[in-house]
Amino acid sequence: MSTPLHAVSAAPVGDFALRCSGLQRYLGQGDGRVHVLKGVSFEARRGQVYAIVGPSGCGKSTLLYLLGLLDQPDGGDIEINGQRMSNSDDFARTAARGAHIGFVFQFHFLMLEFTALENVMMPMRKLGRLTAPEMEARARMLLDAVGLGAKTHRLGTQLSGGEQQRVAVARALANQPSIILADEPTGNLDVKNSTLVFDLLTRLAKDNGQAVILVTHNPEIAQRCDVTRPMRDGLFV
Amino acid sequence: MLMSLSCTVLGVGLFIVTQATTSGFEEFFVKTLLGTDGAMRIEDRIQDTLRSMEVAGSPDFQIRQREGVKYIEGVEEPQIIMDTVRSFANVRGVSAVLRGNVQVSSSFKTEDGQVFGIKLEDHRFVSELERKITTPEGLGKFQESAGSALVGRVLADRLQLTVNESIVINVRGESRRYVVAAIYETGVRDIDKTRIYIDLAEARSLLRKPTGATFLQISLHDPKRAREEAAHMEEVLRHSVRPWQEREKEWLSVFRALSVSSAITVTVFTLIASLAMFNTLAMIVLEKTKDIAILRSMGYERRDITRIFLWQAAIVLAIGAIVGGIFGAAVSWGVSLVPLPINTLFKTEHFIVALSPWHFVQAITTAVVMVMIASLVPARRAARLEPGDIVRGTAQ
Ligand SMILES: Nc1ncnc2c1ncn2[C@@H]1O[C@H](COP(=O)(O)OP(=O)(O)OP(=O)(O)O)[C@@H](O)[C@H]1O
Ligand SMILES: [Mg+2]
């Protein structure tokens, strides 16, 4: 891969990029109210790749939304790069999302009316650290890295599910976040592409000192991660 | 989007059309009445009546108290008043008019009428009589011969008169013969069927009023300021001065009511436009919740989301304003071609429209305010959605 991917400030490996402790989350109303997360504690170091595994419905996505500051816990603490986020306001959480977190959703990936390139550039536009040509160059480079260099100008609607997922991965990397949260990023991919995406994520973690946390049902992938955390019924086991 | 866009176009367009037509008729009416009866009239002399009363016990000491205002009909010293009036900056012209009720006869029949004695060189500046002459000979003959008269179209038709024929005017048993110098048509039926203009000197002798005038007709450079000027003149001249707004207030209030009622209709249209906008945006917000979650997950703030939706509304508004403006102008032009003969308050053959930039400004401002208010609600709702709720599908 060409230099820009590696040119990031190499943060000291071993620091905690993300910590959470005693996370509680209830979902649903009234009788349907479910205790989904029952006190989850977790920490992720820079430069490490973590796999969260577990049966469907055990609360993996719910945990990832909390860690990605997309949802608020009913109890417990979340720390992003040493900063406590669990009781900060929407503005601070939004800013932290933009600067520190790259998120890949489990199901919906792209803004379909936009091209792959525009999708990848969108987080950079908001952050505003790069000039327009720099953003475009970086977006092209990232799309190249996920094997979509030839389809940068396709609209979201003109891409397959797996291709959309890879664009979403590229987009999560756009702002060089210190934490990458990916909910089954290889779920829709064939062996070749899931290896491609996984290799990319691992290499980034190593080279840039990013913490990668991914949810996966694929044992092979889980096995290749630095740490695997099995989850059951809202708790790590 | 298309629905709200078309409603905006309709709202803006119809606003312009209705305002252009109502104000068209009103302006035309005002122009007609300014052109016939001038911006204001000085009619009666004001005399303060004072009541004296002796304070008890002291015969030298009197309290004088203004009891009321008495009007003495007519202007007794027209020349002095006219000279003073001409010194007002806003005054364009002033003309003394002597009026009297008469009977007019042609060889065909007799009608009631009113003689208006005028000095043409003065009256030119206070009315558009000159331009209302319909007979090709113009005013030449009237200017030359003191024994000639200007007759209104309706009266002329009733008496079956043409130019150069003669009429007999009868006042209190005395008859005089005049030649019809020209026929005029103001379009105001009441005028065209009664007024006969003759030379002022001739009228004095006919009506046996060697001095004085019934009223002074005044035209202003800026007729809108007639009220203020009238109040000022009344102070200075001690004569009652009636501005056109007061003279024609019944008709003016009819026009006002008309324009208010059409403004209401049109506001309803813009209201529908804003409801459509509200609906459209609310639907878009529902459709785009996932995109909202994605944007928010990338660090886009609440106000960014609001802005995106307001931007959509702004685009609709911009297109709506431009297309609506063109549509309004086009329809107004089309309406101005619709034949509509009127011959009572004023004379016209077709619809009158008066397009003014002000109508466009009003229409667009109304649309902007209403559509933006309607858009704000769904846009803010979109911004309040929690990304976590959206991805779980529990967003309200
Ligand atoms: N709105 C809700 N109301 C009540 N319960 C909910 C709601 N949303 C999710 N749940 C429950 O929360 C639990 C955790 O859901 P979550 O999506 O985190 O599971 P997951 O581990 O990601 O599963 P999968 O592997 O299938 O993606 C599930 O048992 C689900 O039924
Ligand atoms: Mg899940």
> Which residues fall within 8 angstroms of residue B307, CB to CB, at 6 or more apart?
none
Report whether B193 contacts B101 (CB < 8 A).
no
- What pLDDT shows up at residue A230? 95
Instruction: Give the angle B381-B387-B389 at the CA atoms, nearest 5°.
Output: 85
* DSSP helix/strand/coil, A11: coil
Residue B150 lies in a domain: yes
Report whether B299 contacts A172 (CB < 8 A).
no
Q: Is the CB of B392 under 6 A from ligand 1?
A: yes
Cβ separation A97–B299 shorter than 8 A: yes
Assess whether B261 and B384 both reside in one domain.
yes
CA dihedral of residues A176, A174, A49, A93 (deg, nearest 10): 70
Domain end, chosen from B164, B191, B212, is at B212
- Bridge partners of residue B114, in order along the sequence: B101, B195
Residue B324 lies in a domain: yes
Domain count, chain B: 2
Token pair listed for B389 = 């709720």
- Rounded CA-CA distance B173/B205 in Å is 14
Residue B59 lies in a domain: no
Assess whether B261 and B316 both reside in one domain.
yes
- Chain A positions in Cβ-Cβ contact with residue B293 (cut-off 8 Å): 70, 105, 108
Q: Is the pLDDT of residue A12 over 80?
A: no
ipTM score for this prediction:
0.87
- Chain B positions in Cβ-Cβ contact with residue A100 (cut-off 8 Å): none
Measured in angstroms, the CA of A182 and the nearest CA of chain B are apart by 12
Token pair listed for B362 = 């009003």
> Which residues fall within 8 angstroms of residue B335, CB to CB, at 6 or more apart?
B17, B20, B21, B351, B353
Q: Which domains does chain A have, with CATH numbers?
A: 45-70+98-236 (3.40.50.300)
- Rounded CA-CA distance B7/A233 in Å is 53
From the CA of A106, give the closest atom in ligand 1: 27
Assess whether B255 and B174 both reside in one domain.
no
- What average pLDDT score do residues A35-56 get? 93
Residue B372 lies in a domain: yes
* B-chain residue closest to A120, CA distance: B298
- What pLDDT shows up at residue B52? 52
> Which residues fall within 8 angstroms of residue A170, CB to CB, at 6 or more apart?
A116, A120, A139, A142, A143, A145, A146, A148
Quick check: B389 contacting A, CB < 8 Å? yes
Provide the CA B268 distance to its chain's centre, in angstroms. Answer: 25
Cβ separation A71–B294 shorter than 8 A: no
* DSSP helix/strand/coil, A151: helix
- What pLDDT shows up at residue B54? 54
* A-chain residue closest to B296, CA distance: A94
Nearest to B68 by CA among B54, B50, B44: B50
Question: Which protein residue has the closest C-alpha to ligand 1 atom 22?
Answer: A61
Residue B46 lies in a domain: no
- pLDDT (tens digit per residue) in A111-151: 888 999 999 999 999 999 999 999 999 999 999 988 899 99
- Within B182-248, residue ranges assigned H as helices are 189-192, 200-207, 226-237, 244-247
Assess whether B258 and B197 both reside in one domain.
no
Q: Which of residues 61-90 of A touch B (CB under 8 A)?
A: 61, 65-66, 68, 70-72, 90
- pLDDT (tens digit per residue) in B159-184: 998 888 989 999 988 899 999 999 99
Average pLDDT along chain B: 85
> Which residues fall within 8 angstroms of residue A133, CB to CB, at 6 or more apart?
none
Assess whether B207 and B272 both reside in one domain.
no
- pLDDT (tens digit per residue) in A61-120: 999 999 999 999 999 999 999 888 877 888 999 999 999 999 988 877 788 889 999 999
Assess whether B175 and B262 both reside in one domain.
no
Residue B106: domain span: 96-212
Token pair listed for B296 = 């928010």
Task: Give the percent of chain B with pLDDT over 70.
Answer: 93
Compute the Cα dihedral for B302, B305, B309, B312 and give only its sign. positive
Quick check: B307 contacting A, CB < 8 Å? no
- What pLDDT shows up at residue B291? 86
CA atoms within 13 A on the CB side of B239: 28
Give residue B79's pLDDT band: very low, low, confident or very high (50, 70, 90): confident
- pLDDT (tens digit per residue) in B4-53: 788 888 888 888 888 888 888 888 888 888 888 888 888 887 776 655 55
- pLDDT (tens digit per residue) in B123-164: 988 988 888 888 888 888 888 888 899 999 999 999 998 888
Cβ separation B391–A97 shorter than 8 A: no
- What average pLDDT score do residues B235-248 get? 86
- Chain B positions in Cβ-Cβ contact with residue A68 (cut-off 8 Å): 297
Fill in the DSSP letter of residue B75.
B
Q: Cα-flanking dihedrals φ and ψ of residue A195, to 5°?
A: -65, -40
pTM of the model: 0.67
Cβ separation B298–A126 shorter than 8 A: yes
